[in-house]
Structure 1
Amino acid sequence: MVVSLKEAKLYLRIDSDEEDTLITSFILTAEEICEEILRFPLSEFEEVPKLVKQALLYCIANMYEKREGSYYYMKNEGGGMAETIGIMKIILGNLRKESW
């Protein structure tokens, strides 16, 4: 994993271990989303740029915050997954390849 569970929990300001499995799932999902945006595996980086880590943390935080998936968030508030991915595309745009 590019972002460790410890890093994610620090970013999310979580002290307990109760949601470690959930957060780990969010980390792996964020990495897959990031790879889809970049159009190459994160393992191709010799050293993962801080920009990529920030995009991953942003995605993890949004998934964590909106984990209930309530209709209220989907209808009345920004920050849904489509918006999250859009912002990640902006963050990662200069690293993105033309195609796989």
Structure 2
Amino acid sequence: MVDPIITLDEAKAFLRVDYDDEDALIAQLILTASESALAHADGLASGEPIPESVRTSALIHVARLFDTRHDEDQPPAALTLANRYRRWDV
């Protein structure tokens, strides 16, 4: 399991959610989006600060997952932001 790269408060602000009823769901989506963003940014060195574009990628992914809860596609914008850190030589 990966540590979240965005906070619940950041995600709720991005989603414009001002109630607590779905905090558990949003927290789960944060973990999923964090894992996905970091997997795509696999060129980052361990312990290196997470670039804002990768954090934004996670926020976009949380929003997409929250808004379309049963859609399995990853949002292209989220992947684009994280892809610049991807190791393509593997």
Q: What's the TM-score, normalizing by structure 2? A: 0.80
2:60 aligns to what? Answer: 58
Give the deviation of 1:81 after TM superposition: 3.9
Q: Number of residues paired by the alignment?
A: 87
Correspondence for 1:48 among 50, 55, 72 = 50
Alignment of 1:78-93 (within 5 A): 80-84=71-75, 86-93=76-83
1:23 aligns to what? Answer: 26
SS at match of 2:88: coil
Give unmatched runs, 5+ long, in structure 2. none
Q: Are the aligned partners of 2:40 and 2:79 in contact in 1 as well (CA < 8 Å)?
A: yes
Alignment of 1:5-24 (within 5 A): 5-24=8-27
Give the deviation of 1:46 after TM superposition: 2.8
Which structure dedicates a bigger proportion of its chain to helix?
1
Give the deviation of 1:27 after TM superposition: 0.1
Q: CA RMSD in A?
A: 2.2
Deviating more after overlay: 31-40 vs 14-23: 31-40
Give unmatched runs, 5+ long, in structure 1. 70-79
Q: What's the TM-score, normalizing by structure 1? A: 0.73
